């Protein structure tokens, strides 16, 4: 039985691990809180290396694919900074590493499309950390001749994390910024794409993982309100909104993410090619949760 090791069983990591289980793989993943409720067949490993050094050599034994979803910090990638030797010692069985990055590394393009070979221009601290982590993993893959896929993800949504949920819990804001475009990606499509990449015999690549309909955030909130049959929040102009630096940075980055490469590589048809299909599939789930 093939085995994955997922560094970070967060929102995306959980979905990825569960998808691999459905394909009859075994799954091991890290979490800061191993008592959390997860599917019983996922082996949990407590992992907070900044606080306590964790030896993962035994856990990585026999692993086919390593998936990394943990966000980097100012020092770059947490896994390579704290468990580099464990990774090197496990390379006899590892066939692929998949690193989940972010389209934030492209920075602002004033609405122009970005491709995998576009010059990256990270502008926020988080995006700069992502670039550093990408560089670390790229160097690791080259040094040890391990195929590495870097997946640059757009805004991730799914059950419990979407505009319907934010409207229901009262946290939604309808911010208007003229000309601002943003891509999204459903977590279910991420999981399926990660699995399909393990089925290919290819070298190291970078892929944009984004939907087909870049849209202003206010139109997504308005559509979610329409599905709920409620009035959307009052519009708030970006210039007048009190925002955190993180949220402000989101609105200052305006780009369209091209996803042709992953479609052609996998002959992939998105299950949720746009936010309308994605949100419509979530309406009953969120109302009954």
pLDDT in tens, 43-59: 999 999 888 888 899 99
Give a yes or no: residue 53 inside a domain. yes
Look at residue 112 and tell me if it is in a domain: yes
State the burial class of residue 118 (Cβ atoms within 10 Å of its Cβ: 0-12, 13-18, 19+).
middle
Does 279 fall in a domain?
no
pLDDT tens readout for residues 202-224: 999 999 999 999 999 999 999 99
End-to-end CA distance of the chain: 34
Domain range spanning residue 22? 3-157+185-210+257-271
Q: Does residue 283 lie within any of the structural domains? A: no
Q: By the 8 A CB rule, do 111 and 177 touch?
A: no
For residue 95, is it within any domain? yes
Q: How confident is the model at residue 36 (pLDDT cuts 50, 70, 90)?
A: low
| C-beta separation of 222 from 193 below 8 A | no
Q: pLDDT category, 1, cuts 50, 70, 90?
A: confident
Percent above pLDDT 70 for the chain = 98
The reply to whether 168 falls in a domain is: no
Q: Which residues contact 251 (CB under 8 A, 6 or more apart)?
A: 175, 177, 180, 238, 243
Domain with residue 103: its CATH number is: 3.40.50.720
Structural domain contains residue 245: no
Phi, psi at 30, each rounded to 5°: -100, 150
Q: Which of 157, 140, 156 is nearest to 204 (CA)?
A: 140
Count of structural domains, the chain: 1
198 within domain boundaries: yes
The rounded distance, in Å, linking the Cα atoms of 156 and 210 is 9
pLDDT digits (tens, 9 = 90+) for 148-197: 999 999 999 999 999 999 999 999 999 999 899 999 999 999 999 999 99
């Amino acid at each position: 039985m093939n085995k994955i090791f997922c560094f970070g069983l967060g929102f995306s990591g959980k979905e990825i691990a569960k998808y691999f289980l459905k394909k009859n793989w075994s799954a091991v993943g890290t979490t800061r809180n191993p008592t959390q409720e997860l599917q019983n067949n996922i082996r949990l490993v407590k992992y907070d290396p900044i606080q306590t050094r964790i030896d993962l050599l035994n856990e990585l034994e026999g692993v086919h694919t390593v998936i990394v979803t943990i966000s980097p910090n100012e020092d770059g990638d947490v896994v390579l900074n704290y468990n580099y030797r464990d990774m090197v010692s496990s390379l006899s069985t590892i066939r692929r590493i998949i690193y989940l990055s972010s389209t934030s590394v492209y920075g602002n393009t004033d609405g122009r499309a970005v491709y995998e070979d576009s010059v990256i221009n990270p502008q926020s601290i988080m995006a700069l950390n992502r670039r550093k982590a990408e560089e670390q993993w790229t160097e690791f893959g080259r040094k040890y001749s391990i195929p590495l896929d870097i997946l640059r993800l757009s805004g991730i949504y799914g059950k419990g994390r979407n505009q319907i949920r934010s409207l229901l819990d009262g946290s939604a804001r309808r911010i208007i910024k003229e000309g601002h475009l943003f891509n999204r990606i459903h977590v279910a499509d991420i999981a399926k794409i990660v699995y399909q990449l393990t089925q290919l015999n290819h070298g190291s690549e970078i892929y944009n993982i984004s939907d087909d309909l870049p849209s202003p955030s206010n139109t997504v909130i308005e559509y979610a309100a329409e599905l709920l049959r409620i009035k959307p929040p009052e519009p708030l102009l970006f210039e007048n909104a009190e925002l955190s630096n993180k949220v402000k940075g989101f609105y200052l980055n305006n780009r369209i993410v091209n996803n042709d490469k992953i479609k052609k590589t996998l002959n992939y048809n998105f299950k949720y090619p746009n936010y309308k299909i994605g949100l419509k599939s979530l309406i009953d789930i969120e109302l009954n949760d």
